[in-house]
A and B are shown apart, each in its own frame.
Chain A
Amino acid sequence: MKKDFEIISMLAWRNVWRNKRRTILTLCTIVVGCAMIILLNAFAKGGHDQMIEDATGLVMGHIHIHEKGYWENKTIDYAFEADESIEKALSSNTHIRAYCKRIMCDALIAKGGTTKGVMIQGVEPVREKQVCGLYKCIIKGRYLSDSDSTHAVIGATLAQNLKVDVGNTIAIISQGFDGSIAAEHLTIAGIFKSGNPEYDKFLLQMPLKQADETFSMMGYIHAYVIKASRIDNIDAITSSLSKKLPNNVEVLGWEKLMPELVQFIIMDDVSGYLFDLMLFLVVAFGILNTIQMSVYERTRELGIMKAVGTTPGQIVALVILETFFITVIGVLLGVALGAGISYYFTVHPIDYSQYSEEIAVWGITTTIFPATVTIANTVVTAVLTMIVSLLFCIFPARRASKLHPVEAIRHI
């Protein structure tokens, strides 16, 4: 058995290099196909990560802790006490980069004779800046600080609609946590432009302490907002916290907070997989063509080999090993090329920021498109290319093994 393998593998290796030009062309098909699949998947993964980061990075955060039912109803009544056990669980989790508390409710905002509906977020300014990046979007004035009280930052569209500017005072009115009327005058400290039309039109942030007082929260909050050290850690954090936290709260990852983004990523993945499938088929048919031609050209030789005692199984093994050798070389080169180019785009992402205004017209706020090459991407691509190639060589291998020696020897 060992000797069989020795001779068959030696023959297969030499046969691979018998027609160098054809082998190199086939290798090019595999290398380019493999590299393209890895690169496209890396861009898809990088693009999705960036979209998630952009979508969660400004205001949403990666993970929320709410009282059960808050996210479905989004009313002021679903608040919980921010006790020490929750803080302890959050600070001891090494996958969490930062977290902050929020009070969230809807309100009416008025200036002069104009009234608008807004989403109010009471935030801890310093900790909020560690979790979300809205402070970077201030275009006028400044972001909130811990020493602020009756101050607020609002979106640029909202400011425009209310015809207010930095330093102006606005009135908010809503329902308090205890059922009372909550009303306050707030001074506009800053105006932000996030690029997200919803935030720019409806969002107002004010200090958490003031929000606690204005809405009579009595120390209760609506959310802990968490930033994970890496997007890939979100599931681990969610499941770990779910086990440790009290029963009245729920831990929701960004996928549950933004199901429409999940839907988009799934749709994008499906079209990506279809493209991958096409590339796999191109590679597979390239291999099939080469092996088919190689077997056809060697019909007489294979007939002689059978005549002198080579078994059908050894002929199948020969053809499969030839495919295996070509594919392994192609896959190794393809993985190196694909991972190399992907790494370049990881370090030097495609930057469309100079076209950000044109892109924003389409409602897209992502302007940086990095590639993220993962071990899973390269391993899955390599393994699938091997499997598809070996599956496609079975047909010519079986045909070769079934050659009738007499007819094969007559073949010219």
Chain B
Amino acid sequence: MEIIQVVNCTKDYHSDGQIVHALRGVHLSLHKGEFAAIAGPSGSGKTTLLNCIGGLDYSTQGNVYIEGTDISKLSPKELSRLRLFKIGFIFQAYNLIPVLTALENVEYILLLQGMGDSNRKRKAAEVLELVGLKDEMHRLPHELSGGQQQRVAIARAIVSSPAIVLADEPTANVDQKTGSALLDLMEHLNKEKQITFLFSTHDPMVMKRAHRLINIIDGMIVKDTLVKRKNK
């Protein structure tokens, strides 16, 4: 089943009176449970594509479908609801709410979804345990290391069991060892919970670990490769 479908997507920016073509007629389909990476140099359009898929940005032309819904026709409020219930986000860094503890950051999504107290706390604690932060769940973000903060962000992204997790260069601000551990964790979640992961990255380690590698240059997909991985 196609969980993401991008049809002839273009995105133009106006910068200093010039039109910048960030995406030029991109076509892309992703199926449930894929662990894919969009790779390319800086300015190639990978984050723009991720933003269009995540409903953070509207495409100039073309359509983006999430589980069959054309998100380019949704209002800002409807897009908020879509992101809340269907999509989990992981950003490069500093993406937690500083005044909330790790547990509350994870609970925040469930609260917005209207989940009851006991279920919400239990579920958030379970997910934090899953990402290895059982003992740090009552700490504020500034009391956690960069790697631990990214684990909280992963926990927040998957806590509501979204259809897709979009990760924008999730290993960019952590060391290689921590990056590798984060990828282990996301790969495990992909396998165990069948969550679709789509990364934007120029980290060779992420490209190496992705099951599908989509290369993008100058706003166009130039290569889309399925990689066979040995089961660990």
Contact = CB atoms under 8 A, between A and B. Distances in A.
Given A304-B95, A308-B84, A312-B76, A14 B89 contact: no
B56 A406 contact: yes
B94 A18 contact: no
B98 A308 contact: no
A308 B156 contact: yes
Given A3-B114, A11-B100, A409 B84 contact: no
Interface in B78-110: 80-81, 83-85, 89, 91, 94-100, 108-109
Interface string A298-317: 00110011111111111000
Interface residues of B, number: 27
Given A312-B80, A406-B51, A11 B56 contact: no
Of B77, B95, B109, chain A has the most CB atoms within 10 Å of the CB of B95
Nearest to A304: B95
Given A3-B114, A304-B91, A406-B51, A311 B77 contact: yes
B84 A309 contact: yes
B226 interface: no
A207 interface: no
B99 A310 contact: no
A160 B97 CA distance: 85
Contacts, number: 66
Nearest to A2: B114
Interface string A1-34: 0011011000100110010000000000000000
A405 interface: yes
Nearest to B86: A309
B111 interface: yes
Nearest to A301: B97
A296 to B, nearest CB: 15
Nearest to A305: B97
B98 A309 contact: no
Contacts of B224: none
A307 B97 contact: no
Given A3-B114, A406-B51, A308 B99 contact: no
A312 to B, nearest CB: 6
A11 B101 CA distance: 11
Contacts of A15: 99
A10 to B, nearest CB: 8
Contact of A18 (B54, B81, B83, B99): B99
24 contacts: A3-B111, A4-B111, A7-B112, A11-B97, A11-B99, A14-B99, A18-B98, A300-B94, A304-B89, A307-B56, A307-B91, A308-B84, A308-B108, A308-B112, A308-B156, A309-B83, A309-B84, A309-B85, A309-B109, A310-B112, A313-B77, A314-B112, A405-B56, A405-B57
Interface of A: 3-4, 6-7, 11, 14-15, 18, 300-301, 304-314, 404-406, 409
